[in-house]
Amino acid sequence: MAVKMENRGKKPNTLYLVVPCYNEEEVLPRTAQVMRDKLNRLTEAGKASRRSKIMFVNDGSRDGTWRLIHGLCGQDPVFCGLSFSRNYGHQSAILAGMMAARAHADMVVTIDADLQQDIEALDRFIECYQEGCEIVYGVRNNRNTDGFFKKTTANLFYGLMHVLGCNVMSNHADYRLLSKRALDALAEYREVNLFLRGLIPTMGFRSDVVYFDVKEREAGSSKYTFGKMLTLATDGITSMSTRPIQLITFMGFAVVLFSFIMIVYCLVDWAFGNNIPGYTTSLIVSLLMGGLTIFSLGIVGEYVGKIYLETKSRPRYIVESFIWKEPEEKTENLENSEYSEESNNSETNGG
Ligand code: UDP
Ligand code: MG
């Protein structure tokens, strides 16, 4: 079946910006202003329709983030928001936002709340979409704003992912555009262990890359603690690759081979009467074997744990509130507009 190119680029398409927010009250007022200005410029230039919106996803913030989002939604229908029942993490927040936006948008761009990612790159994202791309990846030009530790661990992580055979794009951090078609495909994936940077490239589709400069955080501090980074990294590896388990099998095989050689050696030694008690050797060997066994068990355990979570198929997030207002363009006056503020206690991922 020939792919119908919608009205891509012929008339302005509807763009939704999905912005995950976790304790972002310091930066949010500025973010809202910058994003609204940018969206206005895009609509005036005919690059985005007047039905376009900015969707904030409150990921269980403990500060006044949701209050601010609520206020913004009341002030201007360009804003909409949804709030989780607790902190589910960045990946779940962007997935929820994309799934909620899917019903209204032709294209969705996920972008961080701290304005580190250059919002001016949006024009190029939209151009790629208009040329027929279903996925556009934002890739940072450099890591100058990262500290030594973050830079090193990130490079290590991407290196490891490539060694393990995962198709992740280096220096791409969830600043990306997905078309309605790509979002519909993403909705079919039901996995609980979510690593979107690895998952999305596996969907195929025509895609392109947009390079952008990373800036300093406008306000507040990083919400990615070391623990969150470690969880993301293990989720990334264990959800995309089973090669660590294969590696264990190879390691086990090598150790068995080595032990076999050692047994033969010991027996020969014993036959020649050289049975001096090898205390050091046996200590080293048993420590090595013990360490290797526990480490291997740990890796296998990681996977078993993940299987456990997947089979339970719990919702990936729980949406507590959702605020969305019918765009003014369609309804002309506000009296006819539909203002929905609902409470929802299930996953809004449409399937
Ligand atoms: N974030 C989130 N949930 C979390 C942690 C972070 O939604 O549990 C959001 C955060 O509000 C921001 C984005 O994810 O919009 C990226 O986080 P941050 O800028 O703190 O990370 P960094 O740029 O330091 O890696
Ligand atoms: Mg940031």
Give the type of residue at 177: L
Ligand 1 close to Cβ of residue 232 (< 6 A) = no
| Main-chain dihedrals φ then ψ at residue 115, nearest 5 degrees | 60, 25
pTM of the model: 0.79
333 pLDDT tier (thresholds 50, 70, 90): very low
Ligand 1 close to Cβ of residue 56 (< 6 A) = no
Q: 330 or 96: which carries more pLDDT confidence?
A: 96
Contact 35, 41 (CB under 8 A): no
Q: What angle do CA 195, 198, 200 make, to 5 degrees?
A: 95
pLDDT score, position 5: 54
Give which of 343, 111, 75 is closest to 218, Cα–Cα: 111
CATH fold group of domain 2-241+315-349? Spore Coat Polysaccharide Biosynthesis Protein SpsA; Chain A (3.90.550)
Going from the C-alpha of 136 to that of each of 121, 125, 207, 277, 349, the distances in angstroms are 11, 6, 5, 65, 21
Pocket test for ligand 1, best of 17, 28, 86, 90 (most atoms within 8 A of CB): 90
Could you give the dihedral angle defined by the CA atoms of residues 58, 59, 60 and 65, in that order, rounded to the nearest 10 degrees? -40
Contact 32, 71 (CB under 8 A): no
* Residue 248, SS3 per DSSP: helix
Contact 200, 178 (CB under 8 A): yes
Residue 324 host element (H or E) = strand 319-325
Residue 154 corresponds to which tokens in the numbers above? 């990130």
Kind of pairing, strands 207-212 and 135-140?
parallel
Ligand 1 close to Cβ of residue 61 (< 6 A) = no
pLDDT at 31 over 60: yes
pLDDT score, position 104: 94
Ligand 1 close to Cβ of residue 174 (< 6 A) = no
- If you search the block for the tokens 């490079």, which residue do you land on? 155
Please report which ligand is nearest the Cα atom of 232.
1
115 pLDDT tier (thresholds 50, 70, 90): very high
CA 243 / ligand 1 centre spacing (Å): 29
316: left (phi over 0), alpha (psi -120 to 50) or beta: alpha
pLDDT at 109 over 50: yes
* Residue 73, SS3 per DSSP: helix
Ligand 1 close to Cβ of residue 60 (< 6 A) = no
293 pLDDT tier (thresholds 50, 70, 90): confident
Contact 182, 135 (CB under 8 A): yes
pLDDT tens, position by position, 81-90: 999 999 999 9
Please report which ligand is nearest the Cα atom of 22.
1
pLDDT score, position 336: 37
pLDDT tens, position by position, 153-168: 888 888 888 888 777 8
pLDDT at 337 over 80: no
Give which of 294, 269, 124, 110 is closest to 209, Cα–Cα: 124
Ligand 1 atom closest to the Cα of residue 94 is: 7
Kind of pairing, strands 15-21 and 107-110?
parallel
Contact 121, 212 (CB under 8 A): yes
CA 14 / ligand 2 centre spacing (Å): 26
Contact 321, 82 (CB under 8 A): yes
Which residue's alpha carbon is at the smallest distance from atom 16 of ligand 1? 112
pLDDT at 30 over 90: yes
The strand order across the sheet containing 107-110 reads 207-212, 135-140, 172-179, 107-110, 15-21, 53-58, 79-84, 319-325, 339-343
pLDDT at 281 over 90: no
Alpha carbons 279 and 151: distance in angstroms, whole number: 44
What is the DSSP secondary-structure string of 106-169?
A: SEEEE--TTS-B-GGGHHHHHHHHHTT-SEEEEEES--TTS-HHHHHHHHHHHHHHHHTT----
| CA of residue 276 relative to chain centroid, distance | 58
Please report which ligand is nearest the Cα atom of 147.
1
Ligand 1 atom closest to the Cα of residue 113 is: 15
Ligand 1 atom closest to the Cα of residue 57 is: 7
pLDDT score, position 348: 47
pLDDT tens, position by position, 133-143: 999 999 988 77
Strand partners, 325: 339
CA 120 / ligand 1 centre spacing (Å): 20
**How much is the average pLDDT of 298-326?**
86
Ligand 1 close to Cβ of residue 98 (< 6 A) = no
pLDDT score, position 334: 37
Q: 91 or 263: which carries more pLDDT confidence?
A: 91
Ligand 1 close to Cβ of residue 58 (< 6 A) = no
Residue 93 corresponds to which tokens in the numbers above? 């927040």
Please report which ligand is nearest the Cα atom of 229.
1
pLDDT tens, position by position, 223-266: 888 888 888 888 888 887 777 887 888 888 888 788 778 778 87
Give which of 321, 319, 343, 333 is closest to 77, Cα–Cα: 333
Domain boundaries of the chain, sorted by first residue: 2-241+315-349, 243-312
Q: 285 or 106: which carries more pLDDT confidence?
A: 106
* Residue 265, SS3 per DSSP: helix
pLDDT tens, position by position, 170-193: 888 899 999 999 999 999 998 888
CA 220 / ligand 2 centre spacing (Å): 10
Q: What is the mean pLDDT of the chain?
A: 84
CA 89 / ligand 1 centre spacing (Å): 8
How many other CB atoms sit within 10 Å of the CB of residue 166? Answer: 20
